[in-house]
Structure 1
Amino acid sequence: MANAERTSSERFWRFALYGALLFAAAYYLLPLYVMVTTSVKGIEEIRAGNLIAMPTAITFDAWSKAWSSACTGVSCNGLSGYFWNSVRMVIPAVAISTMLGAINGYILSKWRFPGSNLVFAMILFGVFMPFQVLLLPMAQTLGWLGLANTTTGLVFVHVVCGTASTTLFFRNYYVGIPDELIKAARLDGAGFWRIFWRIILPMSTPIIMVTLIWQFTQIWNDFLFGVVFASGDAQPITVGLNNLANTSTSVKEYNVDMAAALIAALPTILVYVFAGKYFVRGLTAGAVKG
């Protein structure tokens, strides 16, 4: 009798837990549902229908317009140019900042030198520094380098600002690798770079995935640096989306705005859908230890 009551109680709480999780998932996914359904509705249906109603006729005209012909200020060429600007910015910025973080973390954890803890503390300070503090000195630096208002300048900014985080990730991960492994390799005649490429890097897949996903998300979604340090043809998709949403026209096309927002969000959504499990595995493997 007691076992039956306990089983019944466990079943009740299990259902209650699943119900709460389903409610939370539906609550957080509702805005995405509204965006998707609105983006495939015609403007007349949006005016006449319920916000959360399913579309009576699916059309991708809003997506086509958001991509190629929506007005973003005085230009009416859609988001396609801004999208490819972000692609050209995010790929080198993510790759360079990840590699620099791996090398820095390797040095600070396995090749310590006098003052290495102070250097790490100074780099760590950069993780918590508000980006607004960097705007004026970074603008002056980009001017000196001749990189102002260019995609290359944005790559430089994101590499500088992202290296602090990537160094923290890699350093805390590499601390968990036994020092004896490095000492044995050095006794066998392996040097700094050979140990890094042949031993350390092959063991770094979990933290590399964490860093790639983290950096991609941060850089792709950044608006502040894009609007401050770029102009015209060099602006990323976040700036283009803001320009599109704030461009005044005679008719407010909510379906175009929603389609544009989804276009801007799609790369990061796909990254987390297909690589999210690697992000979780990397974190549990030691990315936030230390």
Structure 2
Amino acid sequence: MTTAPAATATEALIVRDKKVRKPRERFTLSRTIKYAVMILFVLIVLTPVYVLLVTSFKGAGDASPVRAWNLPEIWTLDNWVGAWNALAPSIGRSFLIVIPAALISAMLGSMNGYVLSLWTFRGANLVFTLILFGMFIPYQAVMIPLLQLMLGAGVPSGVPALILLHVIYGIPITTLIFRNYYQTVPKELIEAGRVDGAGMLRTYWSVVLPISIPSFVVVLIWQFTNAWNDFLFAVFFSSSQNGPVTLALNNLANGALLQDYGISMAGALLASLPPLLVYILLGKYFVGGLMSGSVKG
């Protein structure tokens, strides 16, 4: 009499086990496909990096388009030494440009976002819309009048002109990011500051600024990368003697007439290292800070 219930219980366990296994098998298969697709995309993206890297260690006779996929016959650091000697002054000037440009535009964007979101006034939305128009105007369309304006104002070419331009053109995006982030700040914090007698500037400095670190990380990474990789402003407002690394890299590569492939590839890798290191070290903070201001906007 006890055999039938035991058999029934065993069959029930087998059926339940099968039902549990099937979703796991499907989940494992789907996850494998996702990883395979991701690996494929990574290989596609890293293929040019591989060519850059191996070519940068090749000698003059070994670096050619025909042998682009081959490993160096003789590994050498001469290309890296030559690229560093050619680009070192311009790399220093790039840091002199991007660091103050990123910091100043971040502070101005933070103050704009604070006023336009937490200390609003009549017409604030119109002012915000006008500021955002700067994001949609192509640089090429205003380059000639902008050059005439800079010359008329007497702004020195090179580092000062590029700092000013990156600050001005960075204000729209920094204002947008900070305004969206400050929209998520509880209004009670601002009201508490007003009750304690803090004015607009004191509330910003003591209450709002300390909680703005996530957005500052996003804006600084964004501005640093944009200013570092800029080439159009560098061509119009600087020269090879006072310009950033992108202009020096173009001169190193001789424009479209690439002859010394090894030193050109090494120079490209050297020029890309600073923004790459910034993203590697601060990438997780960039994503977190960008998402922290995406709830409202």
For 1:166, which of 164, 174, 185 is the aligned residue? 174
Work out the percentage of aligned pairs sharing the same amino acid.
Answer: 44
Structure 1-normalised TM-score? 0.90
Match of 1:282 in 2: 289
SS in 2 for 1:41: coil
Match of 1:46 among 45, 53, 63: 63
Deviation at 1:141, TM superposition (A): 2.4
- Tell me if the contact between 2:184 and 2:295 (Cα under 8 Å) persists in the aligned partners: no
| Alpha-carbon distance change, 165 to 248 in structure 1, aligned in 2, over 3 angstroms | closer
Per-residue CA deviation, residues 189-236 of structure 1 (Å, 9 max, x unaligned), is 112222111111111111111100100111110100000111242211
Gaps of 5+ in 2: 1-17
Give distance in 1, aligned partners of 2:191 and 2:281: 38
Which residue is equivalent to 2:118? 110
Task: Kindly indicate whether the alpha-carbon contact (under 8 Å) linking 1:139 and 1:148 is maintained by their aligned counterparts in 2.
Answer: no
Residue 157, structure 1, aligned to residue 165, structure 2: yes
1:137 corresponds to 2:149: no
Q: Would you say 1:265 and 2:282 are equivalent positions?
A: no
Structure 1 residues 289 and 51, CA, compared in 2 at 3 Å: closer, same or farther? farther
Instruction: Tell me: CA distance 1:253–1:110, structure 2 relative to 1, closer, same or farther (3 Å).
Output: same
Give how far 1:288 is off: 7.7
TM-score, length-normalised on structure 2?
0.88
Candidates 28, 31, 35, aligned match of 1:14? 31
Q: What is the distance in 1 between the residues matched to 2:284 and 2:229?
A: 21
CA–CA separation in structure 2 for the residues paired with 1:66 and 1:234: 18
Q: Which amino acid aligns with 2:290?
A: L
Pick closer, same or farther for the CA change 1:203–1:6 going to 2, 3 Å: same
Which residue number in structure 1 is paired with residue 246 of structure 2? 238
Tell me which structure has the larger Cα radius of gyration: 2
The count of residues paired between Structure 1 and Structure 2 equals: 280
Amino acid corresponding to residue 16 of structure 1 in structure 2: I
Q: 1:201 to 1:64 in 2, by over 3 A?
A: same
**1:272 deviation in Å?**
0.7
SS at match of 2:63: helix
What's the Cα RMSD here? 1.9
Quote the residue 1:75 is aligned against. Answer: none
Unmatched runs of 5 consecutive residues or more in structure 1: 69-77
Partner of 1:213 in structure 2? 221
Mapped to 1, the partners of 2:104 and 2:65 lie a distance apart of 50
Q: Alignment partner of 1:129: what SS?
A: coil
Cα distance in structure 1, aligned partners of 2:181 and 2:160:
30
Q: 1 CA distance for matches of 2:265 and 2:74?
A: 17
> Structure 1 159/58 Cα, relative in aligned 2: closer, same or farther at 3 Å?
same
AA paired with 2:114?
Y
